[in-house]
Structure 1
Amino acid sequence: MLRDRDQRPQADDPSGRGGEALRPASPAHSARLHARLLVSGRLWNPVFLRQLVSLYAATDRLDAALRAFRAHHLSPANLRTYVVLISRLARPQPALAFSLFSRELLSSSRRALRPNPHVISAVLAACAGLPLVHGRQVHACASKIASLADVFVYTGLVHAYATGGDISSSTRVFDEMPLRNVASWNALLVGYTRSGMYLVALRVFRELASVRHNVQLDQVTMSSALSACAGARAENFGRQVHACIVKVGLDMSALCVTNALLEMYTKCDCSQQALALFDAADCRDVFTWNIVILGCIHENRVEKACRMFRSMVRGAVLPDDVSFATVLQATACLAAWALGASLHACVVKAGFVGSQVVARSLVSMYSKSGRLDDARRVFEVAEGHLSIMSWTAMITAFQQHGQGGQAINLFETLLKKGIMPDHITFVSVLSSCSHSGLVELGRKYFSLMTKVYKLTPRSEHYCCMVDMFGRAGHLGEAKQFIDEMPVKPDASVLGALLAACLNCGDLELGKEVAENLFEIEPGKAGNYVLLANIYALHGRLEEAKEVRRWMVSQEVRKEKGCSLVNMENGTVPNASGLSIRQGKVKIT
């Protein structure tokens, strides 16, 4: 019911602090109040209209709030309604929130409605999800109505600039602030971490943790610092942050802190500490499980990754698209097509068919399991909403199955659609040109990458080009290409040149390249084997035996090859508790 007229809130003041909002018990209560106001004729009262809009927004009925807002005229002094609407729209619809701010508050027709610091703080949350130019416009407005001592406004600016990628402007605003709270430091710390400036982020954390700032560290601070440690692979610093968490008495049951600790230990290759922390965690969500499963894959423990995924499902934790994509990576490493097909069915049932990461993992899984047709079908079904990663996965699948022509055709289709290829895409395409003997096309794509798309070549690209020249018998061009490289060739490039020497039968150049490789990576058996084969190719068997004896004296052993056999009429058990029988999957 409505309040009595003598108890209703007074008209709002421009600061947005006047009056107590009506609080309904449910969204349906808001609709009933709306009807009551219409029947009683009080809806034209700006106080009640403002309260109604606030109620709709507070119960997340944003459409109804906007309809009520646009259907009636509010008093120019009612800024609180704008603050509520902009705040509620900031995350789900940032463009609409900024439009409400710019059209209603900055237009010449509403000059009497002047924005205040509360409105600026609300719209800055929306600017974090918009292009940087929006944040700059709000900054210009904030400089006129808010002093540098307003911590909330300028903390929002630090966050908006950092989220937009302008970390220099974010730092400049932070340095200009005379007063800072923990949220201000967190905004800067998160900005450096997301920008990949992990060492700078750790320096900021070290300064924040010093006694002279006297700022109480919170969960966001610790989580951001741990994320920076994970990105920088700074294990020792991460352990210090862990000790700091215990020292300041933060709740270790907080999921954000637990997940950040797990990610830090996992990326720093501290699997024992990560598993111990995981086992001791009282509460786990899907992100916790994803981190541990991905850590198992990085350590090549793919069977354990499958086992962890099964435990997650049995523990009533619903997997998300990242969970499916991760376990599909493990399935691809096992080349377990039947298990992957079963997971594909679960993906369809869970509604993650449209996920880009899942589509990429499905293409990779089917490709590595020898099911190129299935990979192509997954790609064709999801083509309308694929990312460059999925296109690259399909191009790589064609290349790995020896269908270089198909890979190149798909790459040309990608270019026609205006999709921007990345470094990995060009590695797959150049490798396809190499294995297909398409030297001229390989030169064209390398020039396209460097001159049109302005991508700096990496070691993998140089390696593909040298391998392409060597397979085509152009050893002189391969040597010239290496001499003209702007960077010093690494072991992979020299290894490709050594293989080219074997293919072209050039003993002298092969000996020179092999000596360099023995210094760079003395423990790699493949280099000794290639040099021995070059000697044998020229009939110099004693020198070939001498190279192999030298290899044994250096305690360098060539790993034995192995094959993975899928037995149709038998059961192939594995440590994950999954059994494959005649192409069917049984979860035990």
Structure 2
Amino acid sequence: MYNTLIRGFTESDTPHNSFWLFDEMRRKSVAPPDSFSFAFMLKAAANLRSLRAGIQLHCQALVQGLDTHVFVGTTMISMYGECGHAHFARQVFDEMRDPNAVSWNAIITSSFRCGDLKLAKAMFDAMPFRNSTSYNAMLAGYTKAGLLDLAMEVFSAMPLKDDVSWSTMIVGFAHNGCFDEAFRFFRDLQRIGMRPNEVSLTGVLSACADAGAFEFGKVLHGFIEKCGFSNIISVANALLDTYSKCGNIHMARLVFEMMLHQRNIVSWTTMIAGLAMQGYGEEAIELFHKMKGCGIVPDGITFISILYACSHSGLIEEGWKYFSMMKDMYGIEPAIEHYGCIVDLYGRAGQLQKAYDFVCQMPVAPTSIIWRTLLGACSIHNNVKIGEQVRKRLSEIDPTNSGDHVLLSNIYAVAGKWRDVATIRRSMRDQRMKKNPGWSMIEVDKTMYGFVAGENQGEIAEEANEKLTEIMLRLRVEGGYVPELKMVLHDLEEEEKEDSVSRHSEKLAVAFGMSRSCKGSTIKIVKNLRICRDCHAFMKLVSKLYKLEILVRDRSRFHFFRDGSCSCREYW
């Protein structure tokens, strides 16, 4: 009876309650703890990431002579892995008399969890018997660590690939930004006759969402409806997220409405975030109140979404109201992400001094991301004074980040302080820093094409460049387009400056889309960086002269260009 209750608490949201029950059992001497008692208690310590409790349980198991029991030992290995101590896990494993397959898999998983890839590989190689769980543990560890080549080696060597293997590869490659490979694994899975499961579907939908692969997402939607997966809440939420991040808010709303009787907090939050990213701040707030009216209690992630909505719509007072509501009404202590939203709220509105004062008065130490958010706002609003103060703070936390140097360099360039620009460039050169290249992706005929700034090799790039040259000529002649050259390096000739700005990755992606897409179709671009002012002006003019609709999802938000205007209303 005690073991049953202990196990129940261990698997609940309050695993700490299992400890007082365990103590009561020992005090009343109902019966000495057995192997099940210790296994369940070690699992509770693992769930709480409590190394101290785990060591105490290890000592008591030692006294009872149960420390080498295969069931207890295996759970102990997992506990030390969860607490980040691979060497303790290895020691327990070495002391086990007869470890089974589960024990071997536990030490491999624990090694990966602690970041000891060398130990994981050594244990895998030493295994006297390997099963699919062993291989899958290696796949999960390698993909989580971003070692995709090693994951491919293990996957290729597997004698039998099950649905977990395929799902691990799809999810792993998608999370590491290798979208084409994730799509290929999904197609191969279907080609060999295996049925996709909940995990593989959510994984490939995640890839569609991040890559902006709207057409492939629609194909998956049809498959989901046909096979009856739409009733699985995690799949439906992933589909909702895909349409939101692909910029089709109408389809996102449709999926959301169809989930009428199965919505959870994730569904509501995803829909609010989708509206927020596309600038529908008021609609996001309205949906937030509707969610509360349905009895759904908002959590910390929901408040991040609603603060994000206020930030991207310039709703400063409303943002403060919801920030205060978190703690006052729901008892949610603001996390660093919530503070970041308030910094972004002030920053986008141009209230940079308020943003700086807010960061300085935060009750928690500001991270580099907080300061970087403010530095980005200084770059947008060309505020040299606060930008220098922020950069000084960043140099104390993260002195080797190339993006910070680039942002401050841009601020100096716009202000015409070329000597300071040269100093930053020299500093970057001395520290061997490299600027992260901008890339853009576009989906044409269900195939993803990528363009990187400065890399113009291959037939695809040549086709894009040729079309872009034609577009530029028309924009100059008919639209009076003049490239904005303020942030281009001072020591370049004017012609080189224009070429540098003209070949930004999003311009190449749009040109390629115009070359390949059918007339009247919307061109959709996904970009890893924030769109620059020149590209923003370029997109507006293209949409006007060519009667095109262009959707750009940059690192910050969506920009929907139509008839010479943008949905952001110059607020980004």
1:326 aligned to 2:308?
A: no
CA-CA distance at 1:261 after TM superposition: 0.4
1:244-393 equivalences under 5 Å are 244-250=223-229, 252-281=230-259, 282-349=261-328, 350=330, 354-369=334-349, 371-382=351-362, 384-393=364-373
Matched, 1:165 2:146: yes
SS at match of 1:95: coil
Kindly tell me the number of residue pairs found equivalent between the two proteins.
471
Work out whether residues 53 and 66 of structure 1, in 8 Å CA contact, stay in contact via their aligned partners in 2. no
Matched, 1:238 2:217: yes
8 Å CA contact retained: 1:230, 1:264: yes
Change (3 A) 1:330 1:524: same
Aligned residue for 2:113, secondary structure, equals: coil
Report how far residue 288 of structure 1 moved. Answer: 1.7
Q: Determine if the alignment matches structure 1 residue 52 to structure 2 residue 37.
A: yes
Instruction: Letter of the 2:257 partner, please give it.
Output: D
1:141 alignment partner in structure 2: 123
Give, as a single letter, the amino acid of the residue that structure 1 aligns with 2:35.
Answer: R
Distance in 2 (CA, whole Å) between partners of 1:243 and 1:223 is: 14
Deviation at 1:201, TM superposition (A): 0.7
Q: 2:160 aligns with which of 164, 173, 179?
A: 179
Q: How far is 1:353 from its partner?
A: 5.6
C-alpha displacement of 1:70: 1.5
The whole-number CA distance in structure 1 between the counterparts of 2:506 and 2:139 is 43
Deviation digits for residues 533-572 of structure 1, max 9, x if unmatched?
A: xxxxxxxxxxxxxxxxxxxxxx98789x9999xxxxxxxx
| Separation of aligned partners in 2, 1:139 and 1:247 | 41
Instruction: Kindly provide the CA deviation profile for residues 159-202 of structure 1, in whole angstroms up to 9, marking residues without a partner as x.
Output: 11111110111111111110121111111111111111111111
Q: How much does 1:306 deviate?
A: 1.9
Q: Is the 8 A contact 1:289 1:312 kept in 2?
A: yes
Alpha-carbon distance in 1 for matches of 2:127, 2:102: 11
SS at match of 1:437: coil
Relative contact order, higher structure (CA 8 A, sep 6+): 2
Distance 2:429 2:100 in 1: 49
Write out per-residue CA displacement over residues 280-335 of structure 1, whole angstroms, 9 at most, x where no aligned residue.
11222332222212222333322212222222233333333333233223223333
Q: 1:341-383, CA deviations, whole angstroms, 9 ceiling, x for partnerless residues?
A: 2122124435666523222210121233454443223211338
Question: 1:29-70 CA distances to partner (integer Å, 9 max, x unpaired)?
Answer: 433332355x87xx5xxxx55333124235558665541321
Letter in 1 for 2:39: S
Compute the TM-score of the two structures, normalised by the length of structure 1.
0.69
Distance change in 2, residues 1:388/1:243 (3 Å): same
Contact 2:135 2:154 in 1 (8 A): yes
Cα offset, 1:448, TM superposition: 3.6
Query: Could you give the per-residue CA deviations for residues 386-434 of structure 1, whole angstroms, max 9, x where no partner exists?
Result: 33321122223445555312211220221133354353x3453123213
| Alignment deviations for residues 69-120 of structure 1 (CA, whole Å, 9 cap, x no partner) | 2143435751210222334565xx3413x343212223xxx3x635432112
Q: Partners in 2 of 1:270 and 1:384 — Cα distance?
A: 38
Partner of 1:103: 91
CA distance in 1: counterparts of 2:122 and 2:262, whole angstroms:
45
User: Please, which runs of 5 or more residues in structure 2 have no aligned partner?
Assistant: 10-17, 440-452, 455-481, 509-533, 546-561
1:480-509 Cα shifts (integer Å, max 9, x gaps): 763896x97449999xxxxxxxxxxxxxxx
CA distance in 2 between partners of 1:165 and 1:56 (Å): 33
Cα distance per residue 1:500-528 (max 9 Å; x no partner): xxxxxxxxxxxxxxxx99xx87935999x
Structure showing greater Rg? 1
Identity, % of aligned pairs?
18
In structure 2, the CA distance between the partners of 1:178 and 1:341, relative to structure 1 (3 Å rule), is same
Q: In the TM superposition, what is the alpha-carbon distance from 1:219 to its structure 2 partner?
A: 0.8
Q: Which SS does the other structure have where 1:175 is aligned?
A: helix
2:486 counterpart SS class = helix
Aligned equivalents of 1:118, 1:209: Cα separation in 2: 30
Shift of 1:242: 2.2
Quick one: which of 164, 167, 175 aligns to 1:194?
A: 175
**Residue 85 (structure 1) aligned with residue 76 (structure 2):** yes
1:118: which partner in 2?
A: 102
Q: Residue in 2 aligned with 1:155?
A: 136
Q: SS at 1:217's partner residue?
A: coil
TM-score, normalised to structure 2's length?
A: 0.71
Measure, in 2, the Cα distance between the counterparts of 1:335 and 1:23: 51
**2-structure distance, mates of 1:70, 1:50:** 14
- Structure 1 partner of 2:541: 523
Cα separation, 2, equivalents of 1:450 and 1:315: 57
Which one-letter code corresponds to 2:84 in the other structure? Answer: A
CA contact (8 A) 2:314 2:348 kept: yes
- Checking the alignment, whether the CA contact within 8 Å between 2:378 and 2:386 is kept in structure 1 is yes
Q: CA 1:143–1:490 in structure 2 vs 1: closer, same or farther (change >3 Å)?
A: closer
Q: Distance in 1 between matches of 2:375 and 2:7?
A: 56
